[in-house]
Amino acid sequence: MKRTLGLDDAQVSLVGPPDGDALSSPAFSSKLEPEQVGIWRTLVRAHVVSGLVGAGAGLLIYLGFIVAGSTAVISTPGMSLVAMVFLGGLAGLLVGGLLTLCPDHYQVIAAVRRAIRKGHWAVVIHPITQVQIDQAIATLQSCSYRVVRSL
């Protein structure tokens, strides 16, 4: 795979029964999730951006109620503004948390765990460009039992 696709050593890993199948296993986790370095920056950025978007959506909803002439919002404009911006920001933070969980990675991790438990090996590739992704999928599909990918 390295030679065929021109990938670096860090982009291709072979995971098997000696690595263990628990996330707490250093060999297993480092091969499936090697990008641990920037995780905190990604986590903070996702929460800040999604929280601000949510607060902005709350503000737009508040303005929509004002324009629509909602008596509940017009009679208590300050409290309504705070409540809608707060709830919008909170919803945005929840979305940010969901995004940082990387739910798309679970499918790959579960498939690799199943393979290891059955005594099989898995090739884990971390492509960077779309060309590498397309080539890796095509190459693996031509010679593999099952190909699973994350977003």
Give the Cβ contact number of residue 89 at 10 Å. 20
pLDDT above 90 covers what percent of the chain? 33
What average pLDDT does the segment 111-134 reach?
78
Residues 138 and 149 sit within 8 Å (Cβ to Cβ): no
Per the model's pLDDT, the better-predicted residue between 38 and 134 turns out to be: 134
Residue 42 pLDDT: 77
DSSP-derived secondary structure for 9-53: GGGEEEE-GGG-SSTT-HHHHHHH----TTHHHHHHHHHHHHHHH
pLDDT reported for residue 125 = 78
| Beta carbons of 150 and 105 less than 8 angstroms apart | yes
Q: Could you give the CA distance from residue 149 to residue 12 in angstroms, rounded to a whole number?
A: 14
For 47-72, write each residue's pLDDT tens digit: 999 999 999 999 999 999 999 999 99
- Does the pTM surpass 0.75? The reply is no
